[in-house]
């Protein structure tokens, strides 16, 4: 597809101000850097568990400890965005992530690392909300495209983090003098420096070119929580919680005694999953804004969930891994499509709705991830494969919710005819 200068995903900024474009790129970069913990820590899996001397349930808590504070912070920042603007929130969150990285760099004890990951979860989730609110205010006519591009960048960074974690694990096991403590803590120290450099670069950051992204006069009330928009939020919660819990536990399960024959390294499975996300969302970013938006609320979750469940129930490591990667490619279309519809319906309250989504997603993911850890402790190494069924069921539920949303809004005439591309 040939995209002209007026049709590209960055057209509103490129035609207005290169300065705004620079700060949009900076925002995406710092958000991608903030995701290191979620990309790398699951790859460390059993080695991380042995380093801190914790049980499998303790490992689940380490993975998920940032979700609840992140949920609260995301909700708070969403409300503050409505009043003070997304740019202010981005700056504060970048500083908070830098502080969390510093704590992780010195977190040689489990308690300190728990605190570090709680801080990183708190400000990382809030940065995720702030980033999207800021970018959609810069690109008001290309919401789905810019969200997709931002998610592609985050997915691509996760691919690099997983490869880096795999490389560091191999380095630690093969090179004398390189301890796991070095492998775990030094990257956090480097990233802390980069985050603080990012704060300095924001000193003259660009503001949205059109309407301001804040609404100081908006009164906080439950009256504007429309059922239609909240159903879309529900789709993002089901999708996000399932996706997060799977990403935390998939490497550990694939490396367990559930699979006597291990044909693939879990790190490469996660890399493949990240590539599937990046490819699908890159394609989504160049599609016309409203192409296929009805289908994307229904088909990806149902098809992706079915593919993943088939892989899990095969009891084969290679088929479970292949099913996970293929399913990720399918369901990755769902989340940005739902976010774009929320932004379209609620342009001035998008940050708040995104924060509600993050609150539900993080809280649900915390519950699901720790439930999976509890189940893993009960089932043992040989039965650990079964814990993947729990989050895998979330994607078909998201697709069913999308179908219900379409049925509800088709009656009110809010959705375009099938196949509309305007």
What tens digit of pLDDT does each residue of 106-151 get?
A: 999 999 999 999 999 999 988 988 888 888 777 776 666 777 778 7
What per-residue confidence (pLDDT) applies to 206? Answer: 56
CATH architecture of 17-213+221-412: Up-down Bundle (1.20)
**Tell me: the pLDDT tens digits for 178-209?**
899 999 999 999 999 999 998 888 776 655 54
What per-residue confidence (pLDDT) applies to 226? Answer: 66
What per-residue confidence (pLDDT) applies to 154? Answer: 83
Q: How far apart are CA 71 and CA 364, in angstroms?
A: 10
Q: Which candidate, 152, 110, 384, 120, places its Cα nearest to that of 251?
A: 384
DSSP calls for 245-300: HHHHHHHHHHTSTT-SS--S-HHHHHHHHHHHHHHHHHHHHHS-TTTTTTGGGTHH
Q: How far apart are CA 203 and CA 98, in angstroms?
A: 16
Give the list of residues 6+ apart from residue 358 with CB closer than 8 angstroms, or none. 70, 71, 74, 75, 78, 125, 128, 129, 240
Is the sign of the CA dihedral 74, 76, 77, 78 positive or negative? Answer: positive
What per-residue confidence (pLDDT) applies to 205? Answer: 62
**Tell me: the pLDDT tens digits for 56-92?**
888 889 988 998 898 888 888 877 877 777 888 888 9
What per-residue confidence (pLDDT) applies to 236? Answer: 93
Residue ranges per domain, the chain?
Answer: 17-213+221-412
Give the list of residues 6+ apart from residue 348 with CB closer than 8 angstroms, or none. 82, 211, 215, 218
Q: Which candidate, 39, 44, 35, 64, places its Cα nearest to that of 181?
A: 44
What per-residue confidence (pLDDT) applies to 217? Answer: 39
Q: Which candidate, 394, 354, 396, 390, places its Cα nearest to that of 369?
A: 390
| Residues of the chain under the 50 pLDDT cut | 1-16, 209-222, 413, 415-422
What per-residue confidence (pLDDT) applies to 113? Answer: 94
């Amino acid at each position: 597809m040939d995209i002209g200068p007026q049709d590209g995903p960055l057209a509103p900024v490129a035609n207005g101000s290169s300065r705004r474009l620079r700060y949009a790129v900076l925002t995406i970069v710092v958000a991608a850097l903030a995701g290191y913990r979620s990309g790398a820590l699951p790859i460390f899996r059993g080695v991380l568990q042995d380093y801190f001397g914790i049980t499998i349930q303790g490992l689940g808590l380490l993975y998920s400890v940032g979700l609840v504070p992140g949920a609260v912070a995301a909700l708070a920042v969403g409300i503050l965005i409505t009043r003070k603007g997304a740019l202010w929130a981005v700056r504060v969150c970048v500083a908070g992530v830098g502080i969390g990285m510093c704590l992780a760099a010195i977190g040689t004890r489990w308690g300190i690392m728990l605190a570090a990951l709680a801080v990183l979860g708190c400000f990382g989730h809030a940065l995720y909300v702030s980033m999207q609110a800021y970018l959609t205010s810069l690109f008001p006519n290309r919401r789905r495209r810019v969200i997709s591009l931002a998610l592609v960048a985050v997915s691509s960074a996760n691919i690099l983090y997983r490869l880096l974690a795999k490389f560091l694990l191999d380095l630690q096991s093969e090179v004398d003098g390189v301890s796991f403590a070095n492998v775990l803590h030094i990257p956090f120290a480097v990233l802390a420096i980069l985050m603080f450099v990012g704060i300095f670069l924001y000193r003259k950051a660009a503001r949205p070119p059109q309407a301001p992204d804040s609404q100081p006069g908006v009164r906080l009330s439950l009256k504007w929580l429309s059922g239609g928009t909240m159903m879309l939020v529900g789709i993002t919660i089901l999708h996000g919680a399932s996706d997060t819990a799977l990403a935390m536990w998939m490497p550990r399960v694939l490396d367990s005694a559930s699979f006597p024959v291990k044909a693939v390294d879990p790190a490469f499975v996660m890399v493949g999953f990240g590539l599937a996300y990046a490819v699908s969302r890159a394609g989504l970013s160049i599609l016309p804004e409203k192409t296929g938006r009805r289908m994307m609320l229904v088909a990806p979750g149902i098809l992706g969930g079915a593919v993943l469940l088939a892989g899990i129930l095969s009891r084969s490591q290679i088929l479970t891994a292949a099913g996970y990667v293929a399913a990720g490619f399918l369901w990755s279309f769902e989340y940005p499509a739902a976010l774009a519809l929320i932004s379209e319906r609620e342009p001035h309250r998008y940050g708040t709705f995104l924060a509600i989504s993050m609150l539900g997603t993080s809280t649900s993911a915390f519950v699901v991830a720790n439930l999976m850890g509890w189940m893993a402790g009960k089932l043992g190494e040989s039965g650990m494969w079964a814990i993947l069924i729990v989050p895998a069921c979330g994607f078909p539920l998201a697709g069913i919710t999308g179908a219900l949303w379409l049925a509800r809004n088709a009656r009110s005439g809010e959705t375009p005819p099938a196949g509309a591309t305007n």
